[in-house]
Chains A and B, each alone.
Chain A
Amino acid sequence: MLSEKDPLAVHQASDINGWLKKMPEIEIMAEIEPVFLIGEGHQTSGKEFWQKINNLIQSRYDDFMGFIVINRVSDILFNALAATFAFNHLNKPVIFTGSQLPIVDKSLIDIKRKSFGGLGIKANLINAVQIATMDFPVVGLMFGNAFLRATKAVRSAIYSLNIFTSADNKYLAKIDFGISPQTKLNRPEKNPEFVNDFEDKVLYVKYQPGLTFEDYKETAGKVKGLVIESLPVEPFNAEFKNELDRIKIPVVVYNKYYVPDLAIDNVIAVRQMTKETALVKFMWALGQTDDIKKIRVIMNQDYAGEFIKDS
């Protein structure tokens, strides 16, 4: 999370204490138990990693008021979405945060870190710790001055204090002189239902006018599910539609605004959702069943406020 120049980047478990000692402010807010998951420079995405994070939270669920996952920003949204669906009816906060400035372009980071007054991690972490002690039974992202649902998050900037915005402009909390809740959430009394299976053999295709299905036919035969990001209203041409009718795997036809029901047995129209949410939710549904009827029910059910009602 810290720059390569900083000797306290977390590469192994023994680095954590030194890293936290750099931020003694955190200790006055809550009792924190740090857990090492993976070191800087390693892969922090994919099905196995999602399951690892979720299992770790599940194994300690009853022992803590809330959980914070510090993660590289490029993967954070997908990781948070996987936690969202794995913990159905969550009754504690699970907050994903990190530094707004990942190590990609060092010269640009040096400029930005001056205007940010640092890498942003400390402020994000302080806000996340405070949120973890509050009544937010949800998986959310904490960056800059906003806390929002992972299911509503859209990456809106590369280097900025607020790198995620909410797809429906609704936030869980805003940060000003404290954490100001913006949305009232009901806390379920029981612990969440934990379903941590995902299918990662999924092909994602963005349809453009003139695209034929021929290019994807071979790959589509090897995967368990297909997501096609379509055009709104008239999602694709008749030929493309006929091809979809012939393949036997579950297909999600997705558009953020509108997709008509296509009356094809293996095709599920998904709309009013962010594309990242649609993809991870579909992977989660496929992890539970290959029955298209059940997948359709899952995709149409609201699990974590994922439907964007005002778009």
Chain B
Amino acid sequence: MKVYFYSKPEPEKESQAENHLKIFEFFRENGVDVVSNLRKRPDDDELSFEKMEGLVVEGSKSAPEAGYLIATALSQEKPVLYLLPKGSIIPDQLRLLINNKKFKKIFLLDFYGQKTLNNFLIDFIDIIETGELRRQVPTIKFTLRFTPRADRYMTWLSRKKNISKADLLRKMIDEDIKNDEEYQGHLRRPRNEE
């Protein structure tokens, strides 16, 4: 498996260099061949983006090249993992992609910390290999009791939308997660324990 890893380096920021190193290490340990703007290898000149199976961008420092690479990857239907350090703000232009149905399955934007970085990289490999994120497949079982009134409403809406009641509820919660700014802010907040 070959992936392209892009980041605009900030030489004065040691933590960024450490994270880059972790990303390279993770891929090496998992047998993924990494082509990167940060480490040029003589043979890489023979390659092109078409030969890559995915793109990882560490976006602590924004760069126009990142937008170009993301656009190129998505146009070739290749998965993209955009990593932002916790506490960062999502670049405006990427909000368009997060809300785009077409890219929902192949564009991942995650806020990482020291402990969570590897999890996101695992997810990314998962998407390249299987075409979907297995972690986001519903696996947690709930037993809920509803009032007859709520049930009547769900039956009516699920018929109208032609989806199951379970899918309807899952969709409503997903929408809430996406639109809850306070919760999104909570996710972005750096945690001291990391």
Q: What 0/1 pattern do residues 132 to 143 of A give for CB contact below 8 A with B? A: 010000000000
**Closest B residue to A118 using CB positions:** B75
Q: What 0/1 pattern do residues 157 to 199 of A give for CB contact below 8 A with B? A: 0000000000000000001111100000000000000000000
> Which of B37, B44, B47, B75 has a CB less than 8 Å from the CB of A25?
B75
* Interface 9-residue window, one of A50-58, A122-130, A250-258: A122-130
Q: Report the interface size class on chain A.
A: 20 to 34
**Closest B residue to A177 using CB positions:** B49
Is the beta-carbon distance between A178 and B75 smaller than 8 angstroms?
Answer: no
Is the beta-carbon distance between B97 and A117 smaller than 8 angstroms?
Answer: no
For chain B, residues 1 to 45, give those with C-beta under 8 angstroms from any C-beta of chain A.
4, 6, 35, 37, 44-45
**CA of A29 to CA of B65 in the docked complex: distance in angstroms?**
9
Q: What 0/1 pattern do residues 2 to 30 of A give for CB contact below 8 A with B? A: 00000000000000000000011111110
**Closest B residue to A28 using CB positions:** B93
Number of B residues with CB within 8 Å of any CB on chain A: 27
Is the beta-carbon distance between B35 and A28 smaller than 8 angstroms?
Answer: no
**Closest A residue to B73 using CB positions:** A25
A145: chain B residues at CB < 8 Å are 48
Known interface pairs A117-B76, A123-B75. Does A178 touch B68 (Cβ–Cβ under 8 Å)? Answer: yes
B100: chain A residues at CB < 8 Å are 24
> Least Cβ distance of B28 to chain A in Å?
20
Is the beta-carbon distance between A126 and B71 smaller than 8 angstroms?
Answer: yes
Most buried by B among A29, A175, A179: A29
- Additional pairs, 20, CB under 8 Å, beyond known A25-B75, A29-B68: A24-B97, A24-B103, A25-B72, A25-B74, A28-B67, A28-B70, A28-B71, A28-B94, A29-B64, A29-B93, A123-B75, A130-B68, A130-B71, A145-B48, A175-B48, A177-B49, A177-B69, A178-B37, A178-B68, A178-B69
A-B contact pairs, 29 of them (CB 8 A): A24-B96, A24-B97, A24-B100, A25-B70, A25-B72, A28-B67, A28-B70, A28-B94, A28-B96, A29-B67, A29-B68, A29-B71, A117-B76, A122-B75, A123-B72, A123-B76, A126-B72, A126-B75, A129-B71, A130-B68, A130-B71, A133-B64, A176-B45, A176-B49, A177-B4, A177-B35, A178-B65, A178-B68, A179-B68
